[in-house]
Amino acid sequence: MKTKALRQYGKNDLRLEEFELPPVGEEELLVKIASDSLCMSSYKSSGQGSDHKRVPADIAQNPIIIGHELSGEIVEAGAKLKGAAKYAPGRRFSLQPAMKGTYDAAGYSFKYLGGCAQYGIIPKCYIDQDCVLPYDGKSWFQASMAEPVSCVIGAARASYHTEAGVYAHNMGIREKGKMAAIAAAGPMGLAFIDYIIHGGRSPSLLVVTDIDQRRLDRAESVLTPEDAAANGVELKYVNTAGVADPVAALRGLTGGAGFDDVFLFAPVPALIEQADAIMAYDGCLNFFAGPTDPKFSAKFNFYNIHYNSTHVVGTSGGNTDDMREALRLSAEGKINPSILITHIGGLDAARDATLRLPEIPGGKKLIYTHISMPLTAIDDFRALGQGDPLFAALAGICEKAGGLWNGEAEDYLLSNAKKI
């Protein structure tokens, strides 16, 4: 079977190509990819090439397919997998790209598996680790969003607290405690806020900071303090740009006590020091943002580590249970992954969008792999609709949904957009 896919041959060398897939192996799956959400990790690996720990050394001769936040359906199961209901042709799935015991992952390491493709082959290693997760929802974008949402679920579960004189870590955020999310008005921050408010264990206070007022305004419009209050969380958005003493201002919101849980969404040394300084006794700092510099460092207060039991953790990605939780919460309507999405495009938009990802404002960029369409902001649909009936229709559908991407818009797009 032929497929079109975005393949990486070297540093910043991405090529949209058509090629033949090999026959499916007896413990492999041939799958049709429906959508892929572009991740900043793909931008980083595209720039680093084989210097990235997940990318093989021989990609110049054996290119890999990029993209790991994918959704799709099974086309054919190998001989040893036939008869299993979860691998039946037509079964929808989401993929957990990170496997245990290896750095290999879809979107970084495999010649025939990645999200920016029309078709792919899921190898035996993913079958062995039960990483092909059945998806019962109606919209592809929700399954693509499961991987980024799983990352924030994993972060919340990886944070921990202690008890004086007891040598044990109590895993997870402090329920009914005080939490700060620093530099958190971007797409991953929105996913985190949504999960913290609606996912189960929640703090009594959540303070979200950023220095971009437009991002804060959008965050507050889709995740409102009123909705948070209805779920038992006092939610405050704070712009720290121009604040003379952000530490004093933030600690003041807790009566000077500090925050039990602090999550940092930007790899900036000054923000690490700020996050360190606002922690309460037994406070946990989760360094969520991944730096690209292997020598990245910042000052940390070891006096507080010793006397105030403060500590730091770092997480990268979520595990399979986190993805199952993301799919469940989405299917039940408890979280709304559409709030992350600000741009839509076809497979022919993926190369440029990936290489320019930090320059493109807004949230997640969602690629539908079987259509041709420039990467387009949802906010621009109405203006573009003056000359294009496709965008006029999409604008009307999204406006009915409060300006958000949704299942009706996805169905219309896939039925009416130009095929690639």
Kindly state the average pLDDT of the residues 279-286: 98
Instruction: Residue 304: name the closest of 246, 336, 366, 258 by CA.
Output: 258
| 182, 287 contact by CB (below 8 A) | no
Q: What fold characterizes domain 2-148+319-400?
A: Quinone Oxidoreductase; Chain A, domain 1 (3.90.180)
The values of phi and psi at residue 175, to 5°, are -65, 135
Least confident window among 91-95, 299-303, 328-332: 328-332
Please give the single-letter amino acid code of residue 278: I
| Whether the predicted pLDDT of 310 surpasses 80 | yes
| CA dihedral sign of residues 362, 368, 373, 379 | negative
Instruction: Average the pLDDT over 194-215 and give the result.
Output: 95
Which residues have C-beta within 8 Å of that of residue 156, sequence separation ≥ 6? Answer: 172, 173, 192, 195, 196, 199, 201
Residue bearing tokens 């003493």: 245
* Cα distance between residue 277 and residue 296, in whole Å: 19
Question: Would you place residue 131 in the very low, low, confident or very high pLDDT band (cuts 50, 70, 90)?
Answer: very high
Intervals of CATH 3.90.180.10 along the chain: 2-148+319-400
CA–CA separation, 161 vs 173, rounded Å? 8
CATH code reported for the domain at 158-314: 3.40.50.720
Residue 284, pLDDT > 80, answer yes
CB within 8 Å of 114: residues ≥ 6 apart: 5, 6, 36, 64, 65, 66, 67, 68, 70, 106, 107, 120
Q: Give the pLDDT score at 221.
A: 92
Mean pLDDT of the chain: 95
pLDDT over 90, % of the chain = 90
Supply φ then ψ for residue 245, to 5 degrees: -135, 85
pLDDT (tens digit, 9 = 90+) per residue, 57-80? 999 999 999 999 999 999 999 999
Helices (H), 113-199: 124-128, 140-158, 187-198
pLDDT at 292 over 80: no
Are the CB atoms for 184 and 193 separated by under 8 Å?
yes
Neighbouring-strand partners of residue 20: 2
Q: Where are the beta strands (DSSP E) in 11-112?
A: 13-20, 29-38, 64-65, 70-77, 92-95
Bridge partners of 81?
none
pLDDT digits (tens, 9 = 90+) for 185-194: 998 999 999 9
Delimit the CATH 3.40.50.720 region(s) of the chain.
158-314
Residues 6 or more apart whose CB falls under 8 angstroms from that of 404 comprise 222, 336, 338, 339, 341, 378, 398
Give the span between the Cα atoms of 55 and 57, in whole angstroms. Answer: 7
User: Backbone phi, then psi, for 305, in 5-degree steps?
Assistant: -60, -45
